[in-house]
Amino acid sequence: MGRCKRRGHCCQDVRLAESPELLREAYEYWLRSPSIDPKFSEIYIIYPMLTFLFERPDEDLPYHYRCKHFTRDSDNLPACSIYEIRPRMCRDFPYYEDVTHLDRNEPLSPYDGCGYNDPD
Ligand code: SF4
């Protein structure tokens, strides 16, 4: 069924439905509204961690970003500089708990070379 093999594709090309403008507006709204718990929706807090790369309007998740927390360890392997407190969108990928119709035996990651697409 595949598993994460630390190839770093998803961190270097974070694909979202939300534009940079929407992420910035959500973040600025959250800064003015401290009563909003970001655990309710990470959409309020992820703007500072992403660098916008490009948009592909024909895709379901058209906005591509690179995460500023992506790094490499001492062996030059892809790594996350905030691994212990990384957002839920990273921790829970590929969202088996939320998207119950996913077939764990099928390749399901949009990233070519992702370990979740390996048959194992
Ligand atoms: S927070 Fe860490 S795991 Fe999440 S996209 Fe950034 S580098 Fe990857």
Q: Ligand 1 in contact with 16 (CB < 6 A)?
A: no
CA distances 66 to 15, 20, 36, 51, Å, are 9, 12, 26, 5
Residue 113 belongs to some domain of the structure? no
Residue 111 belongs to some domain of the structure? no
Domain span holding position 97: 9-101
Distance 12 CA to ligand 1 centre (A): 8
Helix (H) or strand (E) holding 96: none
CB 1 within 8 A of CB 120: yes
Domain count for the chain, please give it: 1
Distance 14 CA to ligand 1 centre (A): 9
Q: Ligand 1 in contact with 46 (CB < 6 A)?
A: no
Q: Ligand 1 in contact with 67 (CB < 6 A)?
A: yes
Q: Tokens 């957002």 identify what position?
A: 87
Residue 4 belongs to some domain of the structure? no
Residue 106 belongs to some domain of the structure? no
Residue 36 belongs to some domain of the structure? yes
Residue 84 belongs to some domain of the structure? yes
**Per-residue confidence of the chain (120 residues) as pLDDT tens digits?**
678 889 999 999 999 999 999 999 999 999 998 788 877 788 888 999 999 999 999 998 999 999 999 999 999 999 999 999 998 888 888 776 666 666 767 767 778 888 888 876
Distance 104 CA to ligand 1 centre (A): 22
